[in-house]
A and B are shown apart, each in its own frame.
Chain A
Amino acid sequence: MNTFQQHIFPLLICLIASVSLFANNPTDSLTLEEIQSLPIEPIEFEAPPLSDRFVTTSEKPVDNRRQTLLNNLKNNISFDLPNLDLLVNEQLKKAQDNDKASIINPSSNIIIDDFAVNDQFTHMSGYDFKNDQEVTKVKKAKKLINSIIATGNFVKNIVTNDLISLPVGVKTTINNVQIIFGVNAVELHP
């Protein structure tokens, strides 16, 4: 046996063995199955003429749902913005005319308070006295404070010896606010 025959025989044996092995296996995923085709039944359809398939804008059919929605809105909304402005202006004019009875409109939820139109405080800063006694007391106190400032009769502490020359005061300044504690009169008791 020559060299070629020695190599070809083992190759042939391997080939035959592998073919016989695959021949006994089931079909793999790539194997195509025969497709059964269904019968096609004809559809009975008659196309409408072209003129019927397109309508002009003016001939567009009414969308009932949209129309219903618009009708509902129209019935349920009392005011749009321009009308609301008119209503407010009308109410304000009534307030100015002092027509108080017609200000609050019970048919709407919008209430205009006419009294709010011109309620301003006068620019003020001062005492609001309730009686003459208060006027007298404040005048007396201010007079004392001014008198102590004018004479400069300040002491560090109020002690008995300082109470000989009246009025006398103790001055404190806290955050730019001057505070003066003044003694106006003293009664001596044994």
Chain B
Amino acid sequence: MEVYLGMIIPQRKDTLVFGVKDLKVSYNGGIVGDATLGLLADYVFTIGGTKSIVRLKAINDVVDQGCFVKVSCEGFESLSVDGQVEFSRNIIIPVDANDKPIADSTKRVIGTFSFYTENGFNDVVASLSLPHFTRPKMTSVVFHIDLAVIDLSDLANEPGMVFPANYFADTDAIQFREQ
């Protein structure tokens, strides 16, 4: 059975598509075996204006990585995302093993993240792994971050998140989703 799954993202006005060619269904109904559909190609979008991009990675069975969904006869069950976020060199630049800034303009700081959700893309809070980096105009200071969190959730925050003073003072003005 050739099946596809489309996840329509209203904010992006686009559809994330997952697929598999040889999903087996028994005669009495019910999916046989592992019902996993992989993301068919890398999906990229910018966040924070033009300062960084998020890449959701296509399924790659060879290296066992990429985004996939689990399905049952009732449809969608869960989503596993394997992605990376790439930062403009205007914000941060990578450093070498000796904490010296890398001058090569093609090298950017790339963080990796992965998460699992049963509630779609509106409920994503993921830990982000970042290599050491420095600021472009302050290269004598190198940042080592043990834990960074990427919060794309409408429903929840990372446990332990502390907001700045008066963060909720003008809630009507908060427009964190790009239109």
Contact = CB atoms under 8 A, between A and B. Distances in A.
Contact of B7 (A138, A170, A179, A186): A179
A69 interface: no
A174 interface: yes
B10 A172 contact: no
B68 to A, nearest CB: 13
B114 interface: no
B5 A113 contact: no
A160 B29 contact: yes
A124 B45 contact: yes
B80 interface: no
Contact of A177 (B26, B53, B93, B120): B120
A171 B5 CA distance: 10
Contact of A141 (B19, B55, B122): B19
Interface residues of B, number: 64
Contacts, number: 184
Interface in B43-71: 43-46, 49-53, 55, 58, 71
A134 B42 CA distance: 9
B161 interface: no
A187 B1 contact: yes
Nearest to A162: B29
B4 A145 contact: yes
A113 B103 contact: yes
B131 interface: no
Interface stretch (A13-21, A22-30, A115-123): A115-123
A185 B1 contact: yes
A117 B25 CA distance: 56
A127 interface: yes
B139 A111 contact: yes
A157 interface: yes
5 tightest A-B CB contacts, nearest first: A116-B136, A145-B6, A159-B29, A170-B75, A115-B105
Interface of B: 1-10, 12, 14-15, 17-19, 25-31, 40-46, 49-53, 55, 58, 71, 73-76, 86, 88-90, 93, 101, 103-105, 108, 118-123, 136-137, 139-140, 154-155
Interface of A: 88, 104, 109-113, 115-130, 134-135, 137-138, 140-142, 144-145, 156-160, 163, 170-172, 174-187
Given A125-B12, A145-B6, A184-B2, 16 more contacts: A111-B101, A111-B140, A113-B136, A119-B88, A120-B51, A121-B86, A122-B46, A122-B50, A126-B43, A141-B18, A160-B25, A160-B29, A175-B122, A176-B10, A177-B8, A187-B1
11 contacts: A125-B46, A137-B41, A141-B19, A141-B40, A142-B6, A142-B17, A159-B30, A160-B28, A174-B120, A181-B71, A181-B75
